[in-house]
């Protein structure tokens, strides 16, 4: 079936209307009517080919929520009308150790990205959620609890799981002093999860204008990090740092804010590498880790945790026609805190 989408025809050109094909659901697949799709900074990195290897035309979008429109003959977990979500990947090998333990994002043969990838074993590109429908194998579809407002649920499929998973995996404890670096789509979710898990949360931002909003979000403290003095003032203060910054920045400066044995987890993927001084870790037995989204089982756990704790993303709903402007605003940190596309504003396919 021909459906409506928005695509980038090449790196660094504006997104524009573009018709794509979606298949009828196979025996184990569901067809989803997409209602909302979040706008992740990773969309922008890939549309602008900042990580290299981007596939064009590209229909971005991996924070997808909507309703099941059709199910294949053998689909067991979903029925027409169910409220569902799709995150950053739509398939994996299912056989490797990572897939078997529910860490499909680390599939040894590579997960199949929701967009900017190829369907497994084919040369058919995958297209993401800046579109009206998507066909996905039921094993890679999440159930979205009805109590979460659907537009505010969309960003949970990437920003939500990306911040929930490392807090769990690296073991944030009640009472820990947690610093969240960068108050964007990921950062604001880290604040909410950190609070819900009982941490004392400080936002470290480059934007003085976000101070009040950060405290309203639930942060206990807020600091603007500009110069050496700002870093000195918070030296060895934190047990845990979540770094969600999208641009190159000095990791060593932030590591100096960790206590002995503290851990900093990198989530942001800037386009250029940044030098790391061994002394930043060695001197206080600090740890530096990374994390990438989360597996299907943990993503479901995160959605259920959100429902239980009344957590949803803070969003600005946009029309698809505003997407290019939204990218520019995201680059300036001018969004509280996630743009979400209302997919009913996609034009009819020509």
Task: Give the alpha-carbon dihedral of 321, 325, 330, 335, to 10 degrees.
Answer: -70
Interaction of residue 249 with ligand NAP, rule CB under 6 A: yes
Rg (CA), the chain: 20
Q: Which two tokens stand for residue 90?
A: 């739509």
Binding mask 157-196 for ligand NAP (x = CB under 6 A): -xx--x-------------------xxxxxx---------
Interaction of residue 99 with Zn ion, rule CB under 5 A: yes
Interaction of residue 206 with ligand NAP, rule CB under 6 A: yes
Q: According to CB under 5 A, which one of 16, 93, 150, 221 is a site residue for Zn ion? A: 93
Interaction of residue 264 with ligand NAP, rule CB under 6 A: no
Please identify which residue in the block is written with the tokens 């004392």. Answer: 200
Interaction of residue 210 with ligand NAP, rule CB under 6 A: yes
User: Considering beta carbons, is residue 52 or 121 the nearer one to ligand NAP?
Assistant: 52
Q: Is residue 180 within 8 Å of 219, Cβ to Cβ? A: yes
Q: Which of 106, 86, 88 is nearest to 96 (CA)?
A: 106
Interaction of residue 252 with ligand NAP, rule CB under 6 A: no
Q: Is residue 35 within 8 Å of 148, Cβ to Cβ? A: no
Q: Is residue 60 within 8 Å of 49, Cβ to Cβ? A: no
Interaction of residue 333 with ligand NAP, rule CB under 6 A: yes
Interaction of residue 207 with ligand NAP, rule CB under 6 A: yes
User: Considering beta carbons, is residue 37 or 267 the nearer one to ligand NAP?
Assistant: 267
Please identify which residue in the block is written with the tokens 């695509």. Answer: 7
Beta strands 287-290 and 258-266: pairing type?
A: parallel
Give the interface segment with Zn ion, choosing from 5-13, 15-23, 39-47, 218-226 (CB under 5 A): 39-47
Q: Residue 175: phi, psi to the nearest 5?
A: 85, -10
Interaction of residue 75 with Zn ion, rule CB under 5 A: no
Q: Which two tokens stand for residue 33?
A: 């009517």
Q: Measured between alpha carbons, how far is 157 from 42 in angstroms, rounded to an integer? A: 13
Q: Is residue 268 within 8 Å of 182, Cβ to Cβ? A: yes
User: Considering beta carbons, is residue 87 or 262 the nearer one to Zn ion?
Assistant: 87
The residue number whose beta carbon is nearest to ligand NAP equals 184
**Which residues bind to ligand NAP, rule: CB under 6 A?**
40-42, 45, 158-159, 162, 182-187, 205-207, 210, 244-247, 249, 267-269, 291-293, 330, 333
Binding site for Zn ion (CB under 5 A): 40, 42, 92-93, 96, 99, 107, 158
């Amino acid at each position: 079936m021909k459906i409506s989408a928005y695509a980038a025809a090449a790196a660094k050109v504006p997104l524009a209307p573009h018709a794509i094909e979606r298949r009828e659901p196979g025996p184990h697949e569901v067809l989803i009517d997409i209602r909302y799709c979040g706008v992740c900074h990773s969309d922008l990195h890939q549309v602008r080919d900042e990580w290299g290897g981007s596939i064009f035309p590209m229909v971005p979008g991996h924070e997808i929520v909507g309703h099941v429109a059709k199910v294949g003959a053998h689909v067991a977990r979903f029925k027409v009308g169910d409220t569902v979500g799709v995150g950053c990947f739509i398939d994996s090998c299912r056989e490797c150790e990572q897939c078997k333990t529910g860490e499909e994002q680390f599939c040894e043969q590579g997960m199949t990205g929701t967009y900017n990838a190829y369907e497994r074993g084919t040369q058919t590109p995958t297209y993401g959620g800046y579109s009206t429908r998507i066909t996905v194998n039921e094993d890679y579809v999440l159930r979205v609890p009805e109590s979460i407002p659907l537009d505010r649920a969309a960003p949970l499929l990437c920003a939500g799981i990306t911040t929930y998973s490392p807090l769990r995996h690296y073991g944030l404890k009640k009472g820990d002093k947690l610093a969240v670096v960068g108050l964007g789509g990921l950062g604001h979710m880290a604040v909410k999860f950190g609070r819900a898990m009982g941490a004392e949360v400080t936002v470290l931002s480059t934007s003085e204008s976000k101070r009040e909003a950060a405290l309203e979000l639930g942060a206990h403290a807020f600091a603007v990090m500009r110069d050496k003095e700002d870093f000195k003032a918070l030296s060895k203060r934190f047990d845990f740092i979540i770094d969600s910054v999208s641009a190159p920045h000095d990791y060593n400066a932030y590591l100096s804010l960790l206590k002995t044995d503290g851990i900093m987890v990198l989530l942001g993927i800037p386009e250029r590498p940044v030098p790391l001084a061994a002394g930043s870790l060695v001197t206080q037995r600090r740890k530096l880790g990374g994390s990438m989204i989360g597996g299907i089982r943990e993503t479901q756990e995160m959605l259920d945790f959100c429902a239980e704790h009344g957590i949803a993303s803070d969003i600005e709903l946009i029309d698809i026609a505003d997407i290019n402007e939204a990218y520019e605003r995201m680059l300036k940190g001018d969004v509280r805190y996630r743009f979400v596309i209302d997919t009913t504003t996609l034009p009819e396919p020509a």
